[in-house]
Amino acid sequence: MTDSALSPSPTTQPFARSILDNIARVLVGKEGVSGLALAGVLAGGHVLLEDAPGTGKTMLARALAISLGLTFTRVQFTPDLLPGDVTGVSVYRPASGTFEFVPGPIFTGVLLADEINRATPKTQSALLEAMGEGQVTESGVTHMLEQPFVVIATQNPIENEGTYRLPEAQLDRFLLRLSVGYPTLEEEVRMLSRLQGQHPIYALESVAAPADLLTARREVQAIHVSEDLRRYMASLAAGTRTHSAVALGGGPRASLALQGVAQALAWMEQRGYVTPDDVQRAAPGVLAHRLSLRIEARLQGLPAEEVVREVLRSEPVPVESVQPEPVAAQ
């Protein structure tokens, strides 16, 4: 998928367009990934940004959070970070003789978990309940998070020193995994020009309110998905499970995620229905990080995205003359 495939166009929904334009002020030439990240947020999910250092992951996350007008907290994940540092802890108050819960930085609208794979699995797992159920349980007491709640995490896939690979259960909680990618030469030149003075992120202002996002989410959920496309999406998820290079494929949660992101993409284009193009645009970001590849495939350096692309190429699209097969055998 190219960036231009998701660039704001005259048909882009005004709410989405204003946010994407806002992000474009600080991030040059990344309309595609910005659009997908916004789609993930609109679908009610969390987004994992994965790429090499200096590609603009944190900048994208910050710009998205500011644009949405949500309360924003950034946590730098480090090996010595404890779960309580994220979720909050109960502190003993000698004066009253009671424990009082002090909320952690997770009690926010947008949590930027920077370099999430630098924290230990124990701390990473502290996010599971919050991301999955929108709540935090501490000392047997459940505290609800504010809504909307979005986790945007970043990680560097290249560096292994001092990092802890995210477990599958944690990865599955992310609706999308996106790669920002390096800019082209022209884009980099434009970026140098734009960022010569003060970084525009400091002047960035929100263009929406939390209520707008909640309204948009409700509308996204009402976008029509035809029965054929549902079958197509389920076949894609099933295709990842039966692929020869995959040890563990996408589960039903992957199908649900695919439907949600496709609906959000349709909504962003002001369409009341999902098309196969929406599904195909969403599929790599939704499915790839949920796949656990076989050791042979890993040794060959086969990226999970390529597996998803193979599944996309093998699964018939429901068009007029095509009756989709239940599952395409690999």
Partner 1 sequence: MSWRAYGLALLPLAAAGWLPWWATALLCVLFGLAVRWPRWEEGRLLLSLLIVGGAAVALAPAALAQGRTALVGLALHYLALFFVVIALNWSANRITDGLRRSRGALFVPLLIGLLAPQPGLLLALVGGLLAIPGRDERMGRRPEQPTPRVWWVVGAALAALLVFSVLLPRQAVNWAALGEPSPPASNVQTAPPPNQLPPPDLGQTPSAPTSPGLELPFQFTIENVFLPVDAILLGGLLLLVAGGGLLFRFRPQDGRKPRLIEMLMVAGLLLTGALWLAAGVLLSGGGGGGAAGAAQTVGPGAGNALGQLLSNIIGRRQIDISGFMRALLWLSLVMLFALAAALLWLNFTQAREKEGDGKVSPGLKAEAPAPAQPALHRVRLAYRQAEELLRQHGRGRLAAETPAGYAARLSALDAVLAGPLDTLTRAYGPVRYGGRVTDEDAAQAEAAAHELAGMLPDLPPPHDPSEDAPDSLSKKENP
User: Residues interacting with partner 1, by CB under 8 A?
Assistant: 215, 218-219, 221-224, 226, 228-229, 267, 270-277, 280, 310, 312-317, 319-322
Indicate the residue among 203 and 319 with the shorter CB distance to partner 1: 319
Token duo for residue 235: 């076949």
Please report how close the Cβ of residue 22 comes to partner 1 at its closest, in angstroms.
Answer: 21
Report the nearest approach of partner 1 to the CB of residue 202 (Å).
Answer: 33
**Residue of 195, 86, 199, 87 lying closest to 141 (CA atoms):** 87
Distance CA 56, CA 179 (A): 10
Specify the residue, 89 or 312, whose C-beta has the smaller distance to partner 1.
312
Written as one letter, the residue type at 206 is S
d(CA 122, CA 120): 5
CB of 329 vs partner 1, minimal distance in Å: 11
Least distance between partner 1 and beta carbon 1 (Å): 11
Q: Tell me how far, at minimum, the Cβ of 234 lies from partner 1, in Å.
A: 16
Minimum CB separation of residue 14 from partner 1 in Å reads: 9
Nearest residue to 17 via CA among 6, 26, 28: 6
**Could you identify the residue written with the tokens 């029509």?**
224
Q: Which residues have a Cβ under 8 Å from the Cβ of 174 and sit 6 or more positions away?
A: 45, 46, 47, 48, 131, 151, 153, 289
- What's the rounded Cα separation, in Å, for the pair 58 and 129? 23
Instruction: List the structure tokens of 210.
Output: 């939390």
Residue 42 CB, shortest distance to partner 1, in Å, is 13
Give the residue with the Cβ less far from partner 1, 127 or 229. 229
73-87 core/surface letters (b: 16 or more CB in 10 A; e: else): bbbebeeebebebbb
Strand pairing class (150-155; 292-293): unpaired
The CA distances from residue 86 to 83, 93, 224, 235, in Å, are: 5, 21, 38, 38
**Best CA proximity match to 134, nearest among 113, 114, 107:** 107
